[in-house]
A and B are shown apart, each in its own frame.
Chain A
Amino acid sequence: MKKTIIVAKSLFTRRIKRPNYYWMIFAPILLVLIGLGCNHFIEQSNQNEHPRIAVVAPQQVKTEIIQQEKNTKNHLRFSQTNFKSLKQAKSRLNNGNLDGIIYIKNNQLTAARYIYKKQAAASENVTKDLNQILSSVKIQTLAAAMGLSLKQVEEITSPVKISLSSINPKQDQSDHREKMQTISQFVVIGGFLLLTSYISITGAEIGREKSDHLIEGVLASISTRNYFAGKMLGVLFLLGFQIVIYAGIAILVNSLLPFFHQKALFNLSFFKGVSIEYIILTSLLMIVAIILYILLAAIIASFVSRTEDISQATSVVASLILIPYLIGLIASSNSDLGFIKILSYIPFESQSIMPVRIATETASYSQGWIALIISILAMIPLFDIASAVYQKHIFKYSNHNLFYNLIH
């Protein structure tokens, strides 16, 4: 056991010193940040595309209109320039410096004209917003003329609040289901990335030591089974460290975001309502699946003879992950199919499919725990098989390629 730990620690310390390990950890976070950033900038640029509108009206009316625009959420951008005449504003419109002009003659709000050049500046949203702003200004002007106070005006114009109470709670559930479905898709994609990384690490660890003939010197000091167990444990140490880093980042983000107006970028409330049981079950299914796949990768890497075979070994296992990945994506839209139900219990597949089924409420948590137990039970004989295959093939070298060695 002591030697197994030494092997695991050595693998762990060697790997965590490599920059590509951190790339593996932070690349998905970076991708998420880039995605959010892009989304943020797209929203910003959409805002910049709001039509620039000049107001040509008596000063008082103009001030009220601009003030009202600031107070409401709309798709408009009003120019602050004071145009002396409609002609002057039209000239700017022709030059392309403006997208539209709202022209009000002699405080006649009801006879307002909207002049534009391109159709995009008179979209439904724009005209609706203009109507709303001008109507508000009209109400306020009339109220002032009638001597009504601001409170009275607000009372007259405020809409009636209707308290919604549904006798059909399924609508709420439907919203929740939709949210869980999105989260389960994240689980499928995230799981795919994690599995690929750890298969690649295992393939490289086992395959490189064999192809570089390092293994003979090492196995003269430790039994093959203990060494194999140490290697697998080392990979799990790396996984554990990655989970700790992610947990640390999550705690940090959770505590720091309120100081950075996170709503501009994220809406963490989206994750509210995701049960702890779902998080634990999904995480455990994923961890057990990683163990199963690294054992499979170790079996195939044991057949490697040359350095160039290592990438073949990892790609063989990586292509196998595509199956649960694709089925997981199919399940997110149609999780009630018979074969999906069966596959959600099968080790190597359940980590992608069962979380989707639970999210879409076609499987219960108890069924999820059963799938987890099946995967754990599969892990034990697979370790024995992997260890035996490793022991049998680790000293066998061949001039043939990996596929030939696997078949023969």
Chain B
Amino acid sequence: MLSLQNVSKTFDHQKAVSNLSFNLKKGETLGLVGQNGAGKSTTFKMILNFISPDSGKIQFNGHPLMAADLNLIGYMPEERGLYLDMTIEQQIVYFAALHNYPKRKTLQNLDYWMNKLNVKGTKKSKIKTLSKGNQQKVQLITSFIHEPQLLILDEPFSGLDPVNTENLIAAILELKKRGTTIIFSSHNMQNVELVSDKILMLVNGVTKLNGAINAVKDQFPKNQIYLEGNFESNDLKAFNGVQAISPSYPGFILTFATENHARSAIHELKKNYYDQVTGFKLLLPSLDSIFKKVITTEERENEKNNNCR
């Protein structure tokens, strides 16, 4: 469906994206993560041909993007923008028409998605009368009303409250079930974990992580154990290498200095606390902790390089 091979882009002698490569098949979802200025939006703009890459190849359905392909793509930019004087219906019908999507089907889909995303107001409400959150929902509907094959969402969760975030996650999962290929950027790792099959992390335009979520997690030490049983938190401090103990109903999460410490603790639990333990699990690292670890490592390396100079 979508393939990027060794794509690079430089602005004013500064690499925005460097040798980026990934493939997305039909129905897959990719979460693009990274700090501000990491190159996420630049990547989206190159996919949409807003800007041309300096090198590398971008292909959609096996060929470079052509004008006709735009009918099969939906996009919600990071900077939100709507025609404030238009009604919701006018706005959606206009954008759907620009994707060659029939009006009758647009109106049917609009009813469905307004209800699904709980948009306050009617189809005849003017955009300028809507709250910021509802405007964002309208913009989101605009991006996929025409049932695109590929949906690109730049920071779709930003500015949404927890309830609306949940609605959006449900919408993305439904589109995914319908076979839409989705690529989105986010700073919220929990949301990325909830909806993505794959993750790609950019740091200063360079790919630091790329692959299926579990495969990426497997690359990092599993130094946490979830433990349930007849324990007091003080009893757990006795394990070698324990750094933190946090309650997680109905049990605890124990964080160890290394994966070896965690594995030794499991061994000990099996051997010495067999009667007290009702359940335990070696936890995969969270995307949040992986993100922080990659950024911290990168910052340390940069600092080291600067000191060497």
Assembled-state Cα–Cα distance A366/B304 (Å): 78
Among B51, B85, B98, B139, the residue within 8 A (CB) of A222 is: B98
A223 at the interface (CB under 8 A from B): yes
Are A221 and B70 in contact (CB-based, < 8 A)? yes
Known contacts A220-B75, A395-B50, A395-B51; A215/B81 CB under 8 A: yes
Question: Hey, which chain A residues are within 8 Å of B8, CB to CB?
Answer: none
**Interface-lining segment among A2-10, A65-73, A98-106, A289-297:** A2-10
Residue of B nearest to A224 (CB): B50
Assembled-state Cα–Cα distance A14/B126 (Å): 13
Among B67, B76, B82, B143, the residue within 8 A (CB) of A223 is: B67
Interface centre among A2, A213, A216, A223 (most CB of B within 10 A): A216
Q: How many residues of B contact A (CB 8 A)?
A: 29
Are A217 and B94 in contact (CB-based, < 8 A)? no
Assembled-state Cα–Cα distance A14/B84 (Å): 11
B71 at the interface (CB under 8 A from A): yes
Mask, B206-227, CB within 8 Å of A = 1, is 0000000000000000000000
Are B50 and A214 in contact (CB-based, < 8 A)? no
* Minimum distance in angstroms from B94 CB to a CB of chain A: 5
* Minimum distance in angstroms from A2 CB to a CB of chain B: 8
B142 at the interface (CB under 8 A from A): yes
* Minimum distance in angstroms from A395 CB to a CB of chain B: 5
Mask, B61-104, CB within 8 Å of A = 1, is 00000010011011111011111011000000011011110000
Question: Hey, which chain B residues are within 8 Å of A221, CB to CB?
Answer: 70-71, 95, 98-99
Are B67 and A6 in contact (CB-based, < 8 A)? no
Are A212 and B81 in contact (CB-based, < 8 A)? yes
Q: How large is the interface on A (under 10, 10 to 19, 20 to 34, 35 or more residues)?
A: 20 to 34
Among B74, B79, B98, the residue within 8 A (CB) of A216 is: B79
Mask, B136-168, CB within 8 Å of A = 1, is 000100110000000010000000000000000
Known contacts A213-B79, A213-B80, A395-B50; A218/B98 CB under 8 A: yes
B45 at the interface (CB under 8 A from A): yes
Segment 38-76 of B: residues with Cβ below 8 Å from A: 45, 48, 50-51, 67, 70-71, 73-76
Residue of A nearest to B143 (CB): A217
Assembled-state Cα–Cα distance A217/B67 (Å): 15
Are A217 and B83 in contact (CB-based, < 8 A)? no
Assembled-state Cα–Cα distance A220/B71 (Å): 9
Question: Hey, which chain B residues are within 8 Å of A7, CB to CB?
Answer: 98
* Minimum distance in angstroms from A228 CB to a CB of chain B: 13
Assembled-state Cα–Cα distance A395/B75 (Å): 15
A36 at the interface (CB under 8 A from B): no
Assembled-state Cα–Cα distance A222/B48 (Å): 11
Are A220 and B81 in contact (CB-based, < 8 A)? no
Segment 28-52 of A: residues with Cβ below 8 Å from B: none
Assembled-state Cα–Cα distance A215/B76 (Å): 11
Are A217 and B75 in contact (CB-based, < 8 A)? yes
Assembled-state Cα–Cα distance A220/B51 (Å): 12
Among A2, A3, A14, A216, the residue within 8 A (CB) of B85 is: A14
Are A6 and B98 in contact (CB-based, < 8 A)? yes
Assembled-state Cα–Cα distance A221/B85 (Å): 21
A219 at the interface (CB under 8 A from B): yes
Question: Hey, which chain A residues are within 8 Å of B73, CB to CB?
Answer: 220
Segment 12-53 of B: residues with Cβ below 8 Å from A: 45, 48, 50-51
Assembled-state Cα–Cα distance A218/B45 (Å): 13
Assembled-state Cα–Cα distance A170/B81 (Å): 65
Segment 1-25 of A: residues with Cβ below 8 Å from B: 2-3, 6-7, 10, 14, 17-18
Question: Hey, which chain B residues are within 8 Å of A219, CB to CB?
Answer: 48, 50
Assembled-state Cα–Cα distance A241/B99 (Å): 28
Question: Hey, which chain A residues are within 8 Å of B48, CB to CB?
Answer: 219-220
Assembled-state Cα–Cα distance A6/B93 (Å): 11
Assembled-state Cα–Cα distance A222/B50 (Å): 11
Are A220 and B74 in contact (CB-based, < 8 A)? yes
Question: Hey, which chain B residues are within 8 Å of A10, CB to CB?
Answer: 94
Assembled-state Cα–Cα distance A10/B94 (Å): 8
**Chain A residues within 8 Å of B, Cβ to Cβ:** 2-3, 6-7, 10, 14, 17-18, 209, 212-223, 226, 395
29 A–B contacts, CB within 8 A, in A order: A3-B97, A3-B98, A3-B100, A6-B94, A6-B97, A14-B83, A14-B86, A209-B81, A212-B81, A213-B80, A213-B81, A214-B81, A214-B83, A216-B45, A216-B75, A217-B81, A217-B95, A217-B143, A218-B95, A219-B48, A219-B50, A220-B48, A220-B74, A221-B71, A221-B95, A221-B98, A222-B70, A222-B98, A395-B50
Inter-chain pairs besides A216-B45, A221-B95, A222-B98, 14 sampled, C-beta below 8 Å: A6-B97, A213-B79, A213-B80, A214-B81, A214-B83, A217-B81, A217-B95, A219-B48, A220-B74, A221-B70, A221-B71, A221-B98, A221-B99, A395-B45
